[in-house]
């Protein structure tokens, strides 16, 4: 059994867009997310025709990438919470099909390369029936958490 998503990454509701890890390998991870009708963003995107914002679909891929990196760090001996994901680059985002309230999705990330503390990955989302939703390439750094500046 996989650890809970919230044990691995710092994201929390209402900004957590991964429900569970489905499977993992040495170079990737697959997670699941069901987009619930009561999500806060459907109130305004769009009230009479709700559709999941593309930026949040991308975020679900990035959070899945963070889960992959957290599992990699733990395999190397790190403890949960010893790092946070920092987005460095996003490229080649392609949207193919919309996601509606109630849709179940599978989110897959694959490691492409690692260099100078950065992990380059590709990500994709498909509906449970195999319909392609999006693909994206991105780069993430895994850094020790820093304390916020007190003002």
Give the C-alpha separation, 100 to 123, whole Å. Answer: 20
Q: Is-contact 105 30, C-beta < 8 A?
A: no
Give the C-alpha separation, 64 to 29, whole Å. Answer: 7
Three-state DSSP at 57 gives helix
> Is 45 an annotated catalytic residue?
yes
Give the C-alpha separation, 106 to 128, whole Å. Answer: 7
HSE-up of residue 85 (Cα within 13 Å, Cβ side): 26
- Among 32, 45, 110, 112, the active-site one is 45
Report the sign of the C-alpha dihedral through residues 76, 77, 79, 81, in that order. negative
Per the DSSP assignment, residues forming a β-bridge with 118 are 115, 141
Task: Catalogue the active-site residues.
Answer: 45
């Amino acid at each position: 059994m996989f650890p809970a998503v919230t044990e691995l990454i710092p994201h929390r509701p209402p900004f957590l867009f991964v429900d569970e890890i489905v499977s993992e390998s040495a170079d990737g991870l697959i997670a699941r997310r069901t987009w619930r009708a009561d999500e806060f963003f459907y109130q305004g995107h769009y009230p009479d025709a709700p559709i999941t914002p593309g930026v949040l679909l991308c975020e679900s891929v990035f959070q899945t990438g963070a889960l992959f990196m957290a599992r990699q760090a733990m395999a190397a001996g790190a403890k949960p919470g010893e790092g946070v994901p920092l987005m460095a680059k996003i490229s080649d985002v392609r949207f193919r099909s919309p996601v509606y309230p109630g849709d179940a999705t599978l989110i897959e990330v694959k490691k492409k390369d690692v260099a100078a503390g950065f992990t380059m990955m590709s990500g994709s989302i498909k509906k449970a029936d195999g319909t392609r939703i999006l693909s994206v390439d991105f780069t993430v750094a895994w850094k020790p958490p820093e304390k916020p500046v007190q003002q």
